[in-house]
């Protein structure tokens, strides 16, 4: 859960605030897979990753390293609907990490992941 005395900030963390571990990145990928389940089964998921790579040049395994581009790709594919997916993916990630999802501050998926990384990876 949230570390004691730490407020849920409205301002997102900076890019350099956290260095994610391999384990953390793996959790991001699992959360993306889970978040996509809202769209349907395997055929839709397969189509998503195909068009993600085709339109934004992002392979599934590269998502943790290209979070900003991943956000842009989601907006390209789903317009305002990307918010739903980003929030859902974030909820799964925070759930796996045992963290409480911050209130909706208009953050992108990249903001949510950096905040999670800071809280989870910081000693």
Partner 1 sequence: MAEEDVSSGLHSFGLLKDEVEVYLFLARAGSCPVGIIARRLSTNRMNIYRTLKTLGEKGLVESTVGRPSRFIALPVVNYLNRYVEESKTRTSSLEKSREEIVDYCKHLQEVKPLDEEPKFRIVQGRKHVHDQIFKMLDNARNEVALIQTRNGLYRFIYRGIDDRLKELHGKGVEVRVLTQVDESGIEAVKNYLDFAQVRQAALQSAMRLVLVDETEALTTFIRDDSMSLTTETELAMWVRAPDYAKSMKIFFETLWKDGVLMRHRIAEVEAKQMLREGLDWARRTLNADGWTTMVPGKLAGESGAEHCFDLVAKYPDERKMSIAVDSLSEHGSSQILAFSLKALDVRATVQLLVTSLPPNMEERELALHRGIKLISAGKSQQLAAKIASEANKILKASGGASVTSSS
* Token code pair at residue 117: 């990384």
Q: What's the farthest any 2 CA atoms get from each other in the chain?
A: 45
User: Residue 98, Cα to own-chain centre: how many angstroms?
Assistant: 15
Binding to partner 1 (CB under 8 A) within 77-106 occurs at 77-81, 84-85
CA distance 42 to 4: 40
Stretch that binds partner 1, among 4-12, 17-25, 75-83, 89-97 (CB under 8 A): 75-83
Report which of 94, 82, 88, 28 is spatially closest to residue 52, judged by C-alpha positions.
82
Judged by beta carbon, residue 82 or residue 115, the one nearer partner 1 is 82
Encoded one letter per residue, x for contact with partner 1 by CB under 8 A and - for no contact, window 27-66 reads -----------xxx-xxx-xxxxxx---------------
Stretch that binds partner 1, among 22-30, 56-64, 73-81, 99-107 (CB under 8 A): 73-81
Which stretches does DSSP call E strand in the chain?
none
Note the residues at the interface with partner 1 (CB under 8 A).
Answer: 38-40, 42-44, 46-51, 77-81, 84-85
């Amino acid at each position: 859960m949230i570390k004691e005395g730490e407020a849920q900030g409205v301002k997102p963390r900076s890019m350099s605030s956290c260095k994610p571990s391999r384990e953390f990145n793996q959790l991001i990928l699992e959360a993306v897979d889970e978040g996509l389940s809202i769209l349907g089964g395997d055929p839709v998921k397969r189509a998503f990753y195909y068009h993600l790579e085709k339109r934004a040049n992002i392979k599934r395994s590269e998502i943790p390293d290209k979070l900003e581009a991943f956000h842009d790709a989601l907006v390209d594919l789903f317009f305002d609907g990307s918010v739903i997916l980003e929030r859902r993916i974030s909820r799964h990630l925070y759930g796996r990490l045992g963290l409480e999802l911050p209130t909706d501050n208009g953050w992108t998926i990249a903001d949510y992941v950096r905040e999670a990384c800071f809280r989870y990876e910081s000693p």
